[in-house]
Structure 1
């Protein structure tokens, strides 16, 4: 299975949630590439007419498959369903997992993927550019430590409690009057953009933490692994877990700046919420859950 042919065959997995125009744009960007491709769109229980709209729009395209999930299983599990289908049913040589709010800019995927595979890379992260042309990959040189994960878990539990008591906004407004410790817990731990490495990329491009908006899996990974992401999380820390897992399995990850992706960011998450409090509850709750999964994974890896 997964023999490498002269012309690469790629399967794209797109996790869809409600935002149809994003998914249409993502698919169109893939179709512009001159390569043999398959696309698996996983509707993560959009709870609207998304599945039927997607089914009808692409029913005549034999390269596009629409899967429906009957409950929202989150980022990792939803993508794992698409990955499993691409691996077992379509026997894809390469599997590219993309957020539906991303679009491929590059037109040279075939040659670059074959080159990177031959150099022994199992997981590849492209150059992801947001709407302000900020480079979102790589995200860092290492995953978070177990000590840092435990501290973050405590902080987010406090933040969740404060948010549920309707005190969050008041504390943020009063941040100048808070003590140093309180500011670090209640303000500096509030939602922020993810830290990324300077675009000048001082240091190695190998074995860095790669942004989950677009991850490319080569046959080195696919032939041995049944999941794209470590199971258990709903919507956060998938990148840290993936890097820790790859290190544990001696897989090499690689930042490939020759492949460029546009990322419009968070459209599916924003579709869930009408107010900031609801979005914060979602953020803190799922960060706590992901941190618990991460801590347990690291403990098991280290034999604690």
Structure 2
């Protein structure tokens, strides 16, 4: 029997994380023995004591564990903290990393992961991710990687936006610049190889788990983790697959909406972190040249 692990990174979202875990437990109970699954909640230094509350809430759940970071170390390092824990304590066949605002909407989600592995031998797998905001399909994020020159140009666009504080136009600017030439909505219906996956739900198979010291490049705080993962997978010859045969729903920005009470500050924070991550990826790629 295959062993499945989940990492759910939480920041301040008590009720959303509980709902996420409950949906996972419902799916697990339909198809598998709970002994073959482990759900790990990583609280990323929530200042509202959510980690302690979640530990108490799930204290009697046999396949749910909660570990707490002492501070918010960001998306990459928070997930890496959970990855290190699971790798040391469990011999997993598959690891599903998902935001607390993701909900499974397939009856055979876990069994289909195993079937897709037999068909494709993926190292990294992305499901069809459906936004609850507008019913858009968020995977694949892009069909083509950004070249180093494209990445530099994108960073320059973001820096100009930040300098002028045109934060409310950030999303439209980025989507127009990146997605219009790389991705149209029709691609979500196809099985695709070696594309850039959206980061709210990513599945890793055993070889990737065993090979790697970390899941996500640990230097970023938030954003562009998918692009760095894409770069590393292409460099190291890991097979990345997108498949519409498994589906999840994504509520989007729940933790950031809790953290920031107005859209202006939220978008300004996101833009600043994207610029930082773009600089990190640019330097990373330059070192490999």
- With the length of structure 1 as denominator, give the TM-score of the two structures: 0.84
Structure showing greater Rg = 1
Which residue of structure 1 aligns with residue 164 of structure 2? 162
Which residue of structure 1 aligns with residue 122 of structure 2? 121
Once the two structures are superposed, the pairs formed by residues 198-237 of structure 1 within 5 Å of their partners are 198-201=185-188, 205-237=192-224
Which residue of structure 2 aligns with residue 300 of structure 1? 287
Residue 259 of structure 1, aligned match among 221, 225, 246: 246
C-alpha distance in 2 between matches for 1:200 and 1:73: 34
Which residue of structure 2 aligns with residue 180 of structure 1? none
Deviation at 1:281, TM superposition (A): 2.5
CA root-mean-square deviation: 2.3
Deviations 1:243-280 (A, max 9, x none): 11111111111112121101000011111212333223
Deviation at 1:58, TM superposition (A): 0.3
After superposition, the Cα gap between the structure-2 partners of 1:194 and 1:92, relative to the gap in structure 1 and judged at 3 Å, is farther
Deviation at 1:130, TM superposition (A): 1.1
- Paired residues of 1:103 and 1:262 also in contact (CA < 8 A): yes
Matched, 1:149 2:151: yes
Deviations 1:76-115 (A, max 9, x none): 1111111111112222221100000001111213332223
Which residue of structure 2 aligns with residue 189 of structure 1? 173
Deviation at 1:218, TM superposition (A): 0.3
Which residue of structure 2 aligns with residue 79 of structure 1? 79
Identify the structure with the greater helix proportion. Answer: 2
Runs (4 or more) in structure 1 with deviation over 4 Å come to 190-194, 200-204
Which residue of structure 2 aligns with residue 51 of structure 1? 51
- With the length of structure 2 as denominator, give the TM-score of the two structures: 0.88
C-alpha distance in 2 between matches for 1:80 and 1:61: 23
- Paired residues of 1:137 and 1:197 also in contact (CA < 8 A): no
- Paired residues of 1:8 and 1:110 also in contact (CA < 8 A): no
Matched, 1:19 2:3: no
Deviations 1:150-198 (A, max 9, x none): 12222322322322xxxx47x97xxxxxxxxxxxxx8963688984542
Q: Secondary structure at the match of 2:202?
A: strand
| Count of residue pairs brought into register by the alignment | 278
Deviates more, 1:188-197 or 1:222-231: 188-197
Deviation at 1:210, TM superposition (A): 0.8
C-alpha distance in 2 between matches for 1:9 and 1:263: 25
